[in-house]
Structure 1
Amino acid sequence: MFKKILIANRGEIACRVIKTAHKMGIKTVAVFSEADREALHVQMADEAVFIGPAPSAQSYLVIDRIVQACKDTGAEAVHPGYGFLSENKLFQQALADNGIAFIGPDAHAIEAMGDKITSKKLAAAAGVSTVPGYMGIIKDAEEAVKIADDIGYPVMIKASAGGGGKGMRVAWNADEARDGFERATSEARSSFGDDRVFIEKFVDQPRHIEIQVLSDGENCIFLNERECSIQRRHQKVIEEAPSPFLDDATRKAMGEQAVALSKAVQYKSAGTVEFIVDGQRNFYFLEMNTRLQVEHPVTELITGLDLVEWMIRIAYGEKLTLQQKDVQLNGWAMESRIYAEDPYRNFLPSTGRLVHYQPPDESDTVRVDTGVYDGGEISMYYDPMIAKLVTYGPDRNSAIAAMRRALDEFYIRGVSHNIPFLASLLGKQRFVDGRLTTNFIAEEYPHGFNAADLPPEDPTVLACVAAVIHKQVQEREAMISGQMRGYEREVGTEYVVRFSKERYEPVSIADDLDGDGWGSIVTVGGTEHKVAGDWTFGEFLWLGTVDDRDVVVQVDRKGSSGYVLSTQGALADLKVFSPQAAAYDQLMPVKLPPDMSKYLLSPMPGLLVSIDVADGQEVKAGEKLAVIEAMKMENVLRAEQDGTVKKIHASAGGSLAVDQIIIEFA
């Protein structure tokens, strides 16, 4: 077996590969950019090599530096992870030319399947079902519109060398096709160095289901499917295995086509064949990813296989010891992608320090793949993923239940994150029923995600927890030294919980429920609730029961009487007062925020690519004002209403902070 391998990647996937390599007794080499000097993958590896500045085009994408790092450290093989150079045939060839093994397929398969135009032609030749479309090179936006008109709307405009939602747009009319072509080619050029795009029919009400294949070059098997239909902006959000939609016959047919395609290109490694499946279980080839997928853990949990280990063994020359009949489907697994983004601000990226990072404890039912740590940084230069949270259960409902609790226990502060949105998704009855399509998020959240999508299941639960914690705080404060004997401060049992200036809820607490010092009777609105919990000062989680129901509440103290509590994704900013203090609080005026309606503010930290208006210019609602690039994605800012530009406050090419003023209107 290899003695030492280099991981040509960063973040959670680099850490994931390092774990398996160490389990196999293989030493590891990490590579890192200036922004990743203190990254977790650098700390976990046996050795680390600096490869350049923060932008990936100057570090992680520079083939010569990766090859030189292998030579300098004596690494015999390279695992590319996903993204970056993982599907770059020139990288595989450069390694081969220097006698270094590539832990993945050969250049022929990468070239054939990594290019989406070529792969669709090969798939059709191999008898694999394909979606109608135009696979030729498209010269300009006008030709794109003509092709889209011929195919019939809606159409998908997609980067040939793309992946991860980059360089991808859906167009429903000619104007959107023209704009989508320009945006897709621009993103493709900056992300992949290849601005070719193709156009195909967009299948309405589709499911995105993919087949995991594993091949040693002779024996090729499929490891069942993954349901990846829950997507936003064409990026997967929640994945699961198996799919709640497929029957055995469709699973077998899709698997056999995936194997046929793999054999057609002499595939050798782990790979994924992605399909679009319509409501009648008709399926069409989408693309083949000649690498490890982000969502591979769900397949590992239902099959008991380590895909990274098999990739390494196959690259070393070992043969598969598995036959198709040996592949099992045991239980159900689900993965949620935890991103540094603000779901309440249209999922704009969030960067900065992870002031607190406390994932749930790992177990037989919970797995956390991450590349960050408490106190680490989320950089603006790379993908905003914080972690992949994976849960397992004997059936789908138990996997969902495990995920909902694990999300409650996942405590992140310092950057915005999408956990409230994930909790909301899991709570949708349509999701629980398994009625999924790639349009799920757009249909369930037609006006975007906001706090109204996450009301607490029972607000009295948070009132109970807030009151119990506040009483505990008061009891500690009452123990201050130096009090006169006989005049010690007494802690009351009557409180008022303020949910908002319009809602004050009287609460009373009777302690020592069972005479053993454990539990309380909390009365809210005249109804008694049995509350038992385990929380001490400084802890982020209140774990306990309310009326015999298991509850996990995240706790943040805010001043002397304020508490920000969250459970099931819902967040409540509460205050707990004595009855007299509550009466005074109701008389306090409310401070209104300043009016910023005359300004265009940067919704995220990023690079200002362009300013598309000038001082004194009149603009119409919907007109493009500026383009910001962040986390490798371009974001177009448009006018919300008619107006006149008074002053431009920022320059193209400059870096922006969140809420920085870009344009002032008259």
Structure 2
Amino acid sequence: MFDKILIANRGEIACRVIKTCRKLGIRTVAVYSDADDGALHMRMADEAVHIGPPAAAESYLVIEKIVAACKQTGAQAVHPGYGFLSENRKFAAALKEAGIAFIGPNVDAIYAMGDKIESKKLANKAGVSTVPGFLGAISGTEEAVKIATEIGFPVMIKASAGGGGKGMRIARSADEVAQGFSSATNEAKNSFGDDRVFIEKYIEQPRHIEIQVLGDKHGNVIFLHERECSIQRRHQKVIEEAPSPFLDAKTRKAMGEQAVALAKTVNYDSAGTVEFIVGPDRSFYFLEMNTRLQVEHPVTELITGIDLVEQMIRVAAGEALDIRQEDVKLDGWAVEARIYAEDPVRGFLPSTGRLVRWRTAPESDDIRNDTGVVEGSEISMFYDPMISKLCAYGKDRDEAVSRLSAALDETWIAGIGHNVNFLSAVLDHPRFRSGNISTNFIAEEWPNGFAGTVLPDGRRDAMLAVAALVHVRNEFRARHLGGKLGLPEWQPDADWIAFLGKAEFPLTLSDAEGGCDVKVGQKGKSGGKALKVRSAWKPGEPFFRGTVNGQPVVARVAPRPDGLRIVHGGAELDIAVRTPRAAELARLMPEKLPPDMSKYLLCPMPGLVVSIGVAEGEPVKTGQALAVVEAMKMENVLRAERDGTVKKVNAKKGDSLAVDQVILEFA
């Protein structure tokens, strides 16, 4: 076994590997760039080595610097995590030449399966079911259009060396192929240093299901069941679960056996993932093999009890697997949500800045939080914007999903944009709860983009009742702090009015032990819903934890100048609880309207201008591409929302722009 391991990665995966190394009594070495100086993974490791500037191409991707760091610290092995150099055969070969173990598959397996084009050719020869497509090198846009037309639309344009959704485009017409081919090759070159792409038939309503495999250097290969990764946007996974709610035992066995056969063909000797797309009839097609640990590996660990990182280390040290196929159990259900620094309301564009607040549900047997940041950490534009992988385990799918939903309600992030509300909306969506999902789920359920969540009436009324209790306790505390001691006891049947946007809800409050009883009505209607709110919440606490009619409730509570903001179930509710007289006066206040920005094209996120597609005085049509901005290695095409004429161009190629900086002005 190794005494010291260097982790050639950063963020949450570096922290994850360090935890297993600690369990095994192995010392660890972290590497860090200028942007990561002081980062959590650097502080958790036993040693840390600086490897260069923020840009990954000048630090984390420089093979010579990683090898030098191993020699400097005496590290005997390297765990590459995922991304960066994890599937780079030149890196594995360089380590082997230097006498350093690579905690991953052998160089030949990386070569055979790490290249998406070559892996499909190999899978075809091995008799594995594959998607129809063109696997050769494509010389340019004209040839790409010709190939796509021959295959038949829609098609998928995909980077040969790709991963993580980068360098991927769906095209449904020749025009979309031309544009998608250009963007995919650019992203592939910037992300992987390899601009080759291939084109294959796009399967409608597909499910993305992958098989976890594990092999050793003695010819043993097993599969650890499947993960469903169909909830995606921009071809990047958002929520994963294990097992899949769609597969039956027969299909699971067939996919697993096929994945093992493919792995054995290339003498695979580490943890790896064979990905499939699965049709509505459970027909499945080989997509690719990732010769590394996957981001979503925690859900497999939770349902099997197998530490994949530990197994990778033991295999790299030459040990034979002590797990047989019949030993692999499928116990319970696990769901993972990827928490990203991004703004779902702005089309999931990345957000950068300082993480002023970062809190979530405490870890337990049922909750796992893989993160690489702490409060005060900087979310940089140079790397993937992932904050955390929040996972929940349950005896069945309903329990696991409900626990994860509750954990998201206990999450507080401030200082940057984030996708927590969107994740909550997905988990609470009836279609997701039913398991009737595909990779088109997000596009179909939010075709015009995510604009927030509207709670069902029952949950809305529960939040109004919570707001009433919070408001009353805040009021009592404020009066006592003001020196007004000896206040009369709370009078039963006190009347208030809750304002939620423009809607008004009459409230009647009665004191009760441990909380209050609230009757929530509707303006102009008699009667109301009786709700019993119980909680030990005290003013100043950021989370309300209690029960409403006996059901557990967690909500984020934040003061606002004119009331409260309550965050629950993916919804942000601005609620003001007022006396009847205060409500009467509030109705007289004029409404403040936001400024008209319709004549400006604003940069939706911090990024680099790749191109400006129009000139001053040029007429534009709705949907026309106006500019391309790159952020976190992803190209974002900004389009015209309506017809118009360009009055002024305020940015040029190569400019670095801030959020809401003006790119174009229209007449």
- The alignment's TM-score, normalised by the length of structure 2, stands at 0.96
Aligned residues: 658
Partner of 1:52: 52
Task: Please state if 1:539 is matched with 2:541.
Answer: yes
640-649 or 540-549, which moves further after superposition?
640-649
Offset at 1:661? 0.7
- Return the alpha-carbon distance in structure 2 between the equivalents of residues 430 and 279 of structure 1: 15
Partner of 1:78: 78
SS at match of 1:576: strand
- Return the alpha-carbon distance in structure 1 between the equivalents of residues 603 and 456 of structure 2: 29
- Return the alpha-carbon distance in structure 2 between the equivalents of residues 148 and 100 of structure 1: 44
Partner of 1:212: 212
- Shift of the 139–546 alpha-carbon distance from structure 1 to 2, 3 Å rule, reads same
Partner of 1:439: 440
Partner of 1:96: 96
Partner of 1:331: 332
- Return the alpha-carbon distance in structure 2 between the equivalents of residues 84 and 663 of structure 1: 35
- Return the alpha-carbon distance in structure 2 between the equivalents of residues 643 and 61 of structure 1: 44
Offset at 1:496? 2.0
Q: Which runs of 4+ in 1 moved over 6 A?
A: 489-492
**Identity within the alignment, %:** 63
Partner of 1:191: 191
Q: Which residue identity lines up with residue 574 of structure 1 in the other structure?
A: I
Q: Which residue identity lines up with residue 531 of structure 2 in the other structure?
A: H
- Shift of the 170–141 alpha-carbon distance from structure 1 to 2, 3 Å rule, reads same
Offset at 1:457? 4.6
Offset at 1:465? 1.1
1:136-193 deviation digits (Å, cap 9, x = unpaired): 0000000001001111111111000000000000111111111111110010011100
The 5 A counterparts of 1:153-302 are 153-217=153-217, 218-302=219-303
- Return the alpha-carbon distance in structure 1 between the equivalents of residues 165 and 448 of structure 2: 21
Contact 2:514–2:536 (CA under 8 A) maintained in structure 1: no
Q: Which residue identity lines up with residue 300 of structure 2 in the other structure?
A: T
1:252-295 deviation digits (Å, cap 9, x = unpaired): 11111111111111111000000111111111110000000000
Q: Which residue identity lines up with residue 504 of structure 2 in the other structure?
A: Y
Contact 1:478–1:489 (CA under 8 A) maintained in structure 2: no
Task: Please state if 1:519 is matched with 2:520.
Answer: no
- Shift of the 479–247 alpha-carbon distance from structure 1 to 2, 3 Å rule, reads same
1:564-591 deviation digits (Å, cap 9, x = unpaired): 0011111101112222111111100011
Q: Which residue identity lines up with residue 224 of structure 2 in the other structure?
A: L
SS at match of 2:507: strand
1:484-522 deviation digits (Å, cap 9, x = unpaired): x87x6887743221112x3222223222x2xxx412112
81-90 or 621-630, which moves further after superposition?
621-630
- Return the alpha-carbon distance in structure 2 between the equivalents of residues 452 and 101 of structure 1: 49
- Return the alpha-carbon distance in structure 2 between the equivalents of residues 3 and 466 of structure 1: 55
Q: Which consecutive residues of structure 1, in runs of 5 or more, have no partner in the other structure?
A: none
Q: Which residue identity lines up with residue 549 of structure 1 in the other structure?
A: Q
Contact 2:469–2:515 (CA under 8 A) maintained in structure 1: no
- Return the alpha-carbon distance in structure 2 between the equivalents of residues 163 and 79 of structure 1: 18
538-547 or 444-453, which moves further after superposition?
444-453
Q: Which residue identity lines up with residue 213 of structure 1 in the other structure?
A: V
Partner of 1:310: 311
The 5 A counterparts of 1:105-124 are 105-124=105-124
Offset at 1:534? 2.3
Contact 1:82–1:292 (CA under 8 A) maintained in structure 2: yes
Offset at 1:651? 2.6
- Return the alpha-carbon distance in structure 2 between the equivalents of residues 595 and 446 of structure 1: 25
- Return the alpha-carbon distance in structure 2 between the equivalents of residues 456 and 334 of structure 1: 27
Partner of 2:469: 468
Partner of 2:551: 549
- Return the alpha-carbon distance in structure 2 between the equivalents of residues 634 and 130 of structure 1: 29
- Return the alpha-carbon distance in structure 2 between the equivalents of residues 24 and 359 of structure 1: 28
1:501-549 deviation digits (Å, cap 9, x = unpaired): x3222223222x2xxx412112222433211012123321100111112
Q: Which residue identity lines up with residue 65 of structure 1 in the other structure?
A: K
- Return the alpha-carbon distance in structure 2 between the equivalents of residues 397 and 482 of structure 1: 50
Partner of 1:320: 321
Partner of 1:141: 141
Q: Which residue identity lines up with residue 183 of structure 1 in the other structure?
A: S
RMSD: 1.5
61-70 or 517-526, which moves further after superposition?
517-526
Task: Please state if 1:129 is matched with 2:125.
Answer: no
1:98-138 deviation digits (Å, cap 9, x = unpaired): 11110001111111101001001111111211111111000
- The alignment's TM-score, normalised by the length of structure 1, stands at 0.97
1:452-506 deviation digits (Å, cap 9, x = unpaired): 55556532211111111111111111113655x87x6887743221112x32222
SS at match of 2:252: helix
The 5 A counterparts of 1:322-361 are 322-361=323-362
- Shift of the 321–359 alpha-carbon distance from structure 1 to 2, 3 Å rule, reads same
Offset at 1:384? 1.1
Q: Which residue identity lines up with residue 81 of structure 1 in the other structure?
A: G
Partner of 1:419: 420
Q: Which residue identity lines up with residue 341 of structure 2 in the other structure?
A: A
Q: Which residue identity lines up with residue 192 of structure 2 in the other structure?
A: F
Contact 2:134–2:199 (CA under 8 A) maintained in structure 1: yes
- Return the alpha-carbon distance in structure 2 between the equivalents of residues 383 and 432 of structure 1: 29
Partner of 2:580: 579
Contact 1:420–1:454 (CA under 8 A) maintained in structure 2: no
Partner of 2:525: none
- Return the alpha-carbon distance in structure 2 between the equivalents of residues 238 and 597 of structure 1: 34
Contact 1:609–1:628 (CA under 8 A) maintained in structure 2: yes
Q: Which residue identity lines up with residue 348 of structure 2 in the other structure?
A: F
- Shift of the 455–42 alpha-carbon distance from structure 1 to 2, 3 Å rule, reads farther
Offset at 1:641? 1.8
Offset at 1:336? 0.8
- Return the alpha-carbon distance in structure 1 between the equivalents of residues 457 and 295 of structure 2: 31
- Return the alpha-carbon distance in structure 2 between the equivalents of residues 506 and 210 of structure 1: 52
- Return the alpha-carbon distance in structure 1 between the equivalents of residues 40 and 237 of structure 2: 24
Q: Which residue identity lines up with residue 535 of structure 1 in the other structure?
A: W
Q: Which residue identity lines up with residue 280 of structure 1 in the other structure?
A: D
Contact 1:478–1:491 (CA under 8 A) maintained in structure 2: no
221-230 or 570-579, which moves further after superposition?
570-579
416-425 or 162-171, which moves further after superposition?
416-425
Contact 1:456–1:568 (CA under 8 A) maintained in structure 2: no
1:6-40 deviation digits (Å, cap 9, x = unpaired): 10111111110010011110111111111111211
Offset at 1:49? 0.9
- Shift of the 50–282 alpha-carbon distance from structure 1 to 2, 3 Å rule, reads same
Contact 1:424–1:453 (CA under 8 A) maintained in structure 2: no
Contact 1:424–1:454 (CA under 8 A) maintained in structure 2: no
Offset at 1:93? 0.8
Partner of 2:649: 648
Contact 1:554–1:566 (CA under 8 A) maintained in structure 2: yes
Partner of 1:393: 394
- Return the alpha-carbon distance in structure 2 between the equivalents of residues 66 and 442 of structure 1: 40
- Return the alpha-carbon distance in structure 2 between the equivalents of residues 506 and 76 of structure 1: 69
SS at match of 1:9: coil
- Return the alpha-carbon distance in structure 1 between the equivalents of residues 274 and 453 of structure 2: 38
473-482 or 159-168, which moves further after superposition?
473-482
Contact 1:356–1:414 (CA under 8 A) maintained in structure 2: yes
Contact 1:605–1:658 (CA under 8 A) maintained in structure 2: yes
The 5 A counterparts of 1:625-636 are 625-636=626-637
Partner of 1:32: 32
- Shift of the 457–652 alpha-carbon distance from structure 1 to 2, 3 Å rule, reads farther
- Return the alpha-carbon distance in structure 2 between the equivalents of residues 584 and 112 of structure 1: 73
198-207 or 454-463, which moves further after superposition?
454-463
Q: Which residue identity lines up with residue 108 of structure 1 in the other structure?
A: D
- Return the alpha-carbon distance in structure 2 between the equivalents of residues 507 and 38 of structure 1: 50
Offset at 1:72? 0.8
Q: Which residue identity lines up with residue 590 of structure 2 in the other structure?
A: P
